[in-house]
Amino acid sequence: MPETTSLPSTLIISGFHALSDPLRIQVIELLRDRELCVCDLCEAIGATQSKLSFHLKTLKEAQLVQTRQEGRWIYYRLNLSQMVVLEQYLAEYRRFSPILPTRTCREE
């Protein structure tokens, strides 16, 4: 019998919340290969800096992105270790949950 697990941590909850918005997913996709400054992200997404800043703050609070400042520019990159935390959380369901058969609809 699988052991009882505690409720997800605030960081896991905020991570999945951050990934629930299409614009934030776009940011994650753009940061997949390299770090980018806010101006590059704004241009690629077609969003204003104020709108994007709100979403970047959410991603940063969820620790899905990290920043570094160079002069007046802030560069964003993925925090892969936090992605691993979310992946491991989901993997627990795959490992301990019974696999249910595929449901099919019967035509009458």
Mean pLDDT of 48-71: 95
Q: Is the pLDDT of residue 53 over 50?
A: yes
More confident residue, 5 or 65: 65
Helices 10-18 & 49-61 angle (0-180, nearest 10): 150
Q: Is the pLDDT of residue 14 over 60?
A: yes
- Model confidence, pTM: 0.79
Q: Which CATH number fits domain 10-96: 3.40.50.720, 2.60.40.420, 1.10.10.10, 3.60.40.10?
A: 1.10.10.10
